[in-house]
Structures are given as structure tokens and as C-alpha cells.
């Protein structure tokens, strides 16, 4: 695979900034802004069960992208009860298979950065078939640079994912 940045080169390396310690609180952490997932301030779920909700993004460029959140407000994998840690694998596999069923998708990448809201959620991003320059870690960069599609189109693709689950 020939991963390529979505920018013309040469890019110029720069030094890291001074460290910020303590770090500012994240959304949903004590002292931070409220949790948007718990407040229901995100996109409506296109699918849910007793443990998980699945949502379309807004302002994105890859139809078929979705994010999965726990119903529990916990931060990370290690904060989930063991039962849900195991169930995550089952649900993630179903979501992956559903996204692949849309067609024109080469791979489904999972991104869990852990620097956004402090409510467990994992992104599923479809890499378009044949777009090898966007392989691996390049995909979210390309996702950012490619022209956005409408939020309606993103929601419609997410509903198709949900109906294939
Ligand atoms: Zn929350």
C-alpha cells in the first residue's frame, strides 16, 4: 500500500509545543463541559440495543462512517464492565460487516482516539475501494480534506448500515 498525505510536499517538521500539565478537562469529565452524548446533543442513533447506540457523523466526507457509543457514561475500554468489553467485539464485527455490505468499501477502520469527549465511543470509517493512498492512518486526514457530503447523505448511509446489522 502506498499511503500518501493529502497535502503536497514538502511539509516541514516542527517542534512539539510546551506540555500542558495538568491537561484541560475533556467534555464529560469533572470540571469540563457537559457530556453531549448523555445530554442527547449528538445525532440521533440509527440503531441501538440495551448497551450501545450507533450514530451518523455530521460534517463528514465518507458516507458509511458511523460512531458507536456505550449507553454507560464511562471513559475507556478499561472502564467498561467486562461483559461490555466482550460485547464490544461482537458489535464491532457486526458494524464492520454492515459497512462492508454497502459496497465500494475496501476496509473498515476503527479509530478510538480518547482525546475527545470522555464518554466511550469508537469511530468506524470506510476506506473507499481502490483509494489506496488513504490507507491506514492517512484515512482520517483524507476524510478531513475531501469535500464534505451533506449531513442527510451521511445519515442515510448510516441508516443503511443500521438496517444491515
Ligand atoms: Zn456521557
Instruction: Please tell me the least confidently modeled range out of 2-11, 54-63, 120-129.
Output: 2-11
Task: Summarize pLDDT for 16-29 with one digit per residue, the tens.
Answer: 999 999 999 999 99
Please tell me the distance between residue 71's alpha carbon and the centre of ligand 1 in angstroms.
8
Question: Ligand 1 center to residue 43 CA distance, Å?
Answer: 14
Report yes or no: 164 and 71 within 8 Å, Cβ to Cβ: no
Q: What separation in Å is there between the alpha carbon of 39 and the centre of ligand 1?
A: 7
Residue 1 pLDDT: 66
Answer for the pair 84, 155: CB distance below 8 angstroms, yes or no. no
Question: From ligand 1's centre to the CA of 22, what distance in Å?
Answer: 22
- Cell 464511562 belongs to 74
Q: DSSP labels for 60-100?
A: -S-TT-EEEEESS---SGGGS-HHHHHHHHHHHHHHHHHHH
**Which sign does the torsion angle of CA 107, 112, 115, 117 carry?**
positive
Count of all residues that appear for the chain in the document: 165
* Cα(141) to centroid(ligand 1), Å: 27
Q: How far is the CA of 38 from the centre of ligand 1 (A)?
A: 4
> What is the three-state SS of 38-49?
HHCCCCCCCEEC
Mean pLDDT of 157-164: 98
- Residue 2: pLDDT band (50, 70, 90) is confident
- Write the pLDDT tens digit of every residue in 58-109: 999 999 999 999 999 999 999 999 999 999 999 999 999 999 999 999 999 9
- pLDDT of 44 > 90? The answer is yes
Amino acid at each position: 500500500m502506498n499511503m500518501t498525505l493529502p497535502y503536497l510536499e514538502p511539509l516541514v517538521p516542527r517542534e512539539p509545543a510546551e506540555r500542558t500539565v495538568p491537561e484541560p478537562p475533556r467534555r464529560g469529565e469533572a470540571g469540563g463541559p457537559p457530556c453531549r452524548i448523555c445530554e442527547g446533543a449528538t445525532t440521533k442513533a440509527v440503531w441501538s440495543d440495551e448497551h450501545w447506540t450507533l450514530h451518523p457523523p455530521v460534517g463528514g466526507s465518507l458516507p458509511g462512517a458511523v460512531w458507536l457509543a456505550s449507553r454507560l457514561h464511562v471513559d475507556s475500554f478499561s472502564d467498561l464492565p467486562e461483559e461490555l468489553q466482550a460485547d464490544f467485539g461482537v458489535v464491532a464485527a457486526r458494524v464492520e460487516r454492515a459497512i462492508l455490505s454497502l459496497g465500494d468499501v475496501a476496509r473498515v477502520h476503527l479509530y478510538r482516539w480518547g482525546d475527545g469527549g470522555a464518554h466511550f465511543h469508537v469511530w468506524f470509517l470506510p476506506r473507499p475501494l481502490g483509494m489506496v493512498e488513504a490507507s491506514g492512518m492517512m484515512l482520517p486526514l483524507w476524510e478531513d480534506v475531501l469535500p464534505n457530503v451533506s449531513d442527510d447523505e451521511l445519515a442515510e448511509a448510516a441508516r443503511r448500515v443500521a438496517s444491515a446489522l
